[in-house]
Amino acid sequence: MRSALQYLFGRWPVLLHDAVAACLAWLGAYWFRFNLDEIPDVFLDQALAVLPLVVFWHLVFFVVFGVHRGAWRFTSTHDLAVILKSVIVGTAVVAFSIFLATRLVAVPRSVFPLHGVFLVGLLIGTRILYRLFRDRQISRGEGKRVLIVGAGAAGDMLLKDLGRNHQIHYDVVGFIDDDQAKKGREIQGVRVLDRCSALPQLARLLRIELILIAVPSANAEEMRAIVDYCERAQTPFRTLPKVQDILDGSASSADLRSVELDDLLGRDPVSLDWEAMGQMIKNRRVLITGGAGSIGSELCRQVARLDPEEVTLFEQNEFSLYSLAMELEEQFPGIRFRRLLGDVCDPEAVRFVFSQYRPQVVFHAAAYKHVPMLQAQLRETIRNNTVGTMVAARAAAESGVEKFILISTDKAVNPTSMMGVSKRIAEMVAQFNNAKSTTAFITVRFGNVLGSAGSVVPLFERQIRGGGPVTVTDPMMTRYFMTISEACQLILQACAIGRGGEIFVLNMGEPVKIDYLARQMIRLSGKVPDEEIKIRYTGLRPGEKLTEELFHPDEDLAPTSYEKILLAQSRSLDETHFESELHMLRESVECYDHERARQIAIGLVPEYQESEESSTTESPNQAA
């Protein structure tokens, strides 16, 4: 009670204003009733006599309905509705009270509706005038001259929020939008000037200091075009999050952020069958090898959202496993996570894990992937990527796992590196085991993921922070990219629709030039390529290709019911010969016979073509 009284006392200027408005409206109603002429004494005396009653009841209902709580600076239709309700109820009670007190002697009945209309006008009018005055004050301040790209709902909401920002003043000069039907129109008094292609000229002409991109529905191609115009204008720019990231459907200046690489290389939102994925994972025991790696850790997060019975993380890296397990246990307290240190190449450890925890779904993400380094360390490459898959696949088949999903790579297609060869043989291992067991072995193949450990993006970020140079192998080199989140969601979707023996290829969209990627990252850091940050071309490294492929010509590619998942028909496999070669390959790896292991691996993947930059296989002591 005391706090409520203290609050009312703190709002006394508003209550005083509203009380004065009630007085003016009451006397104004009389004046209007008598045709703006002198009010007869008998009526004026009665009006003044009941005035305290009028003010009292109106103040009561102003407080009841919360009229005094409205912030004048942000007066809106909500405030109008509150004022209308309080005035209607207050006027009705005033009329009834005056009737009981005077039987309406010398009180014209028309005074009451006139009083109500005048009071609404005074209350809302003064609030609107105050808001207009404050808005004009801000717009006259020395704020940044701003151009908003996007004259849609997000741009409109952003403009409103900018007007309310007391800390940083923005002077919005105009809108830019490619919808020519909007050209010349005004949004809150700000004109839509032209299409996006005119942005560089308008920015110079209007002395624009900041460009705000309010097009949350823009895809990567559209965002690249807008960013290109902003860069030509040589003006700083910010953007609102993507539409799928604005969960409440609103946009505000607090959401503005720098344009990120994902905005330029990302793709349209993935349309997934979450029900099917949920049925596959819900109440199941899931094992993820390489569980703390880039792909493995994101798979853990995605799987945890589907309510599994338990998730077992099998990982070599102690600290990464510890950190991920702590994160998952905090985010998903209702799910049991098992953290197991181990090596997929250790048959005893792998068999123990499968027999002890009886996983029903296995995601095999454990793999080495750094092409140039692995090119010189064939033994470890084959041991981890191929033998590790053999060990895990055999344990899965022996323990009756329902589904085994192998995470593969585009480098397994027509490989020029030993890493690619090792992953192609791993694909063949999955195909071989699918034909020999009741476990459904499914392969999912895709290209690079943005921001994964060891990828080019963290390298470029580190080089840019150090002032350059940024090293690009070749100006014509291209790679396929997708986000880790999208890749893992599509892996789960492929797992849900797979029945065994398939090689699913994720639709990676158009390949991206690494040179373009480097230049965009430099620009997004606020630097100028070739001037502030140099780009140095180093040439292809051992095992690298200029362009990657997602499927082999002999793999008939077919669509699936999901746009971003394609099905590559597995090539025929001589199972007896393959099993014999695998046995010899494993023996060669165990006894460090590099040359024999190399010859067997190349024999299993005849499409392998050694690049000119590839070096001969070295022993671990020789490798750089």
pLDDT grade for 269, boundaries at 50, 70 and 90 = low
d(CA 70, CA 56): 20
- Mean pLDDT for 571-594 is 89
Residue 149: domain span? 141-259
How many domains, the chain?
3
pLDDT above 60: residue 529? yes
* pLDDT score recorded for residue 405: 95
Residues 446 and 480: beta-carbon distance below 8 Å: yes
d(CA 8, CA 5): 5
Residue 526 lies inside a defined structural domain of this protein:
no
Q: Residues of the chain with pLDDT > 90: what percent?
A: 25
Mean pLDDT score across all residues of the chain: 82
d(CA 447, CA 617): 25
d(CA 185, CA 199): 17
pLDDT above 80: residue 331? yes
d(CA 266, CA 106): 76
Written as six digits, the tokens of 196 are 């996006």
| 417 and 284 co-located in one domain | yes
pLDDT above 80: residue 594? yes
- Exposure string over 557-566, b if 16+ CB within 10 A, otherwise e: eeebebebbb
d(CA 215, CA 243): 8
**Which range, 103-117, 152-166, 281-295, 551-565, has the best average confidence (pLDDT)?**
281-295
- Per-residue pLDDT tens for 215-238? 877 777 788 888 888 888 888 888
| 430 and 284 co-located in one domain | yes
| 379 and 433 co-located in one domain | yes
Give me the amino acid identity at 401: V
Domain end call among 136, 152, 180 = 136
| 560 and 413 co-located in one domain | yes
Q: Strands, E, within 126-222: which ranges?
A: 144-149, 170-176, 186-187, 190-194, 210-213
d(CA 456, CA 467): 17
Q: Answer positive or negative: Cα dihedral of 25, 29, 31, 35.
A: positive
pLDDT grade for 167, boundaries at 50, 70 and 90 = low
- Mean pLDDT for 327-338 is 90
| 589 and 443 co-located in one domain | yes
pLDDT grade for 76, boundaries at 50, 70 and 90 = low
Helix, coil or strand: residue 237: strand
| 26 and 82 co-located in one domain | yes
pLDDT above 50: residue 249? no
Residues 212 and 148: beta-carbon distance below 8 Å: yes
d(CA 486, CA 265): 12
| 308 and 385 co-located in one domain | yes
Residue keyed to tokens 């393959």: 578
* pLDDT score recorded for residue 246: 43
Residue keyed to tokens 């009389």: 30
* pLDDT score recorded for residue 18: 83
* pLDDT score recorded for residue 587: 92
* DSSP per position, 423-453: HHHHHHHHHHHHHHSSSEEEEEEE-EEET-T
Domain end call among 213, 228, 259 = 259
| 282 and 388 co-located in one domain | yes
Residue 422 lies inside a defined structural domain of this protein:
yes
Q: Beta 186-187 vs 190-194: how paired, if at all?
A: antiparallel
d(CA 289, CA 339): 11
Residue 619 lies inside a defined structural domain of this protein:
no
| 97 and 205 co-located in one domain | no
pLDDT grade for 442, boundaries at 50, 70 and 90 = very high
Give me the amino acid identity at 30: Y
